[in-house]
Structure 1
Amino acid sequence: MNKPFHEFIPRLGLLDATMIVAGSMIGSGIFIVPAEITRSVGGAGWMLGMWLLAGLITVIAAVSYGELAAMFPRAGGQYVYLREAYNPLVGFLYGWSFFAVIQTGTIAAVGVAFAKFTAYLVPAFSDTNVLFRLGFVNVSAAQLVSIGVITLLTYINSRGVKHGAALQTFLTIIKLVSLFGLISCGFIWGARADIWNANWQNAWNLSSLTLSGGALSSSSLSGLAAFGAIAIAMKGTLFSSDSWHSITSIAGEVKQPQRNIGLSLVLGTLIVTVIYVLTNIMFLAVVPLKDIAFAPSDRVGVVAADYIFGNSGTVIIAVMVMISTFGCNNGLILSGARVYYIMAKDGLFFRQAGTLNKNEVPGYSLWTQCIWASILCLTGEYNNLLALVIFGVLIFYVLTILGIYRLRQRRPDLPRPYKTPGYPFLPAIYVVTALALAVLLLIFETRYTLPGLGVILAGIPVYYVIVRR
Structure 2
Amino acid sequence: MPAPQPAHYLRRLGTWDAAMIVIGGVIGAGIFRTPAAVAKSTSSGMEVIILWTLGGLLTLAGVLCYAELGARRPQAGGTYVYLREAFGQLPAFLFGWTMALINYPGSVAAVATTFADYATRAIGLPHEWVKPVAVAAIAFIVAVNLFGIRAGAWVQNIFTVLKLGAVAMLIAVGLYLARGHLGVAFAEDPTHDVPASMLIGALLPAMFAYGGFHYLNDLAGEVRDPQRTLPRALGLGMASVVVCYVLVNIAYMAGLGHAGLAASTAPAADLMRRVFGESGATIIAVGIACSTFGYCSIAIAGGARVLQVMSADGMFFRPIARIDAKTGAPQIALLALGAWAIALILSGSFEALVDYTTVGEWLSHAFGIATIFWYRRKLKDEPSPYLVPGYPWVPLIFTTVVLCVIVATAITQPQNAGMSLLIIAIGVPVFFLWRKRLGKKA
Task: Name the counterpart of 1:334.
Answer: 301
Q: How does 1:47-446 map to 2 (within 5 A)?
A: 47-122=48-123, 124-126=125-127, 129=128, 141-188=129-176, 190-191=177-178, 197=184, 200-202=186-188, 217-218=191-192, 220-221=194-195, 223=197, 226=198, 230-231=200-201, 233-295=202-264, 298-357=265-324, 358-377=326-345, 378-380=347-349, 387-446=355-414
How far the C-alpha of 1:193 sits from its partner, in A, is 6.0
Q: 2-side partners of 1:385 and 1:195: how far apart?
A: 41
Q: 1-side partners of 2:37 and 2:120: how far apart?
A: 21
The 1:247–1:220 alpha-carbon spacing in structure 2 relative to 1, beyond 3 Å, is: closer
Letter in 2 for 1:408: R
Q: 1-side partners of 2:92 and 2:349: how far apart?
A: 26
Q: 1:228-279 deviations in whole A, cap 9, x for unaligned? A: xx33x33322232211111111111111011111211111100111001101
Q: 1-side partners of 2:433 and 2:379: how far apart?
A: 30
Q: For the Cα contact (< 8 Å) 2:42–2:193, is it kept in 1?
A: no
How far the C-alpha of 1:71 sits from its partner, in A, is 1.0
Letter in 2 for 1:23: G
How far the C-alpha of 1:4 sits from its partner, in A, is 7.7
Q: 2-side partners of 1:413 and 1:101: how far apart?
A: 38
Q: For the Cα contact (< 8 Å) 1:21–1:264, is it kept in 2?
A: yes
Q: 1:344-380 deviations in whole A, cap 9, x for unaligned? A: 1100011111002353211111111112222333435
Q: For the Cα contact (< 8 Å) 1:28–1:321, is it kept in 2?
A: yes
How far the C-alpha of 1:292 sits from its partner, in A, is 1.7
Letter in 2 for 1:177: G
Letter in 1 for 2:70: A
How far the C-alpha of 1:43 sits from its partner, in A, is 2.9
The 1:290–1:4 alpha-carbon spacing in structure 2 relative to 1, beyond 3 Å, is: farther
How far the C-alpha of 1:171 sits from its partner, in A, is 1.7
Letter in 2 for 1:74: Q
Larger relative strand fraction? 1
Q: 2-side partners of 1:222 and 1:59: how far apart?
A: 24
Q: 1-side partners of 2:227 and 2:157: how far apart?
A: 21
Q: SS at the partner of 2:386?
A: coil
Q: 2-side partners of 1:222 and 1:20: how far apart?
A: 36
Letter in 2 for 1:248: N
What's the TM-score, normalizing by structure 1? 0.86
Letter in 2 for 1:424: P
The 1:110–1:347 alpha-carbon spacing in structure 2 relative to 1, beyond 3 Å, is: same
Task: Name the counterpart of 1:136.
Answer: none
The 1:265–1:200 alpha-carbon spacing in structure 2 relative to 1, beyond 3 Å, is: closer
Q: For the Cα contact (< 8 Å) 1:92–1:463, is it kept in 2?
A: yes
* Aligned alpha-carbon RMSD (Å): 2.2
Structure 1, unmatched stretches of 5+, are: 130-140, 206-216
Q: How many percent of aligned residue pairs carry the same amino acid?
A: 32
How far the C-alpha of 1:40 sits from its partner, in A, is 3.0
How far the C-alpha of 1:124 sits from its partner, in A, is 4.0
Q: 2-side partners of 1:176 and 1:355: how far apart?
A: 35
The 1:381–1:33 alpha-carbon spacing in structure 2 relative to 1, beyond 3 Å, is: farther
Q: SS at the partner of 2:41?
A: helix
Moved more, 12-21 or 99-108: 99-108
Q: For the Cα contact (< 8 Å) 1:186–1:308, is it kept in 2?
A: no
How far the C-alpha of 1:452 sits from its partner, in A, is 1.2
Q: 1-side partners of 2:30 and 2:18: how far apart?
A: 22
Q: 1-side partners of 2:353 and 2:41: how far apart?
A: 19
Q: 2-side partners of 1:308 and 1:316: how far apart?
A: 12
The 1:294–1:144 alpha-carbon spacing in structure 2 relative to 1, beyond 3 Å, is: farther
Letter in 2 for 1:374: I
Aligned residues: 432
Q: 1:50-72 deviations in whole A, cap 9, x for unaligned? A: 21122111110011111111111
What's the TM-score, normalizing by structure 2? 0.92
How far the C-alpha of 1:91 sits from its partner, in A, is 0.7
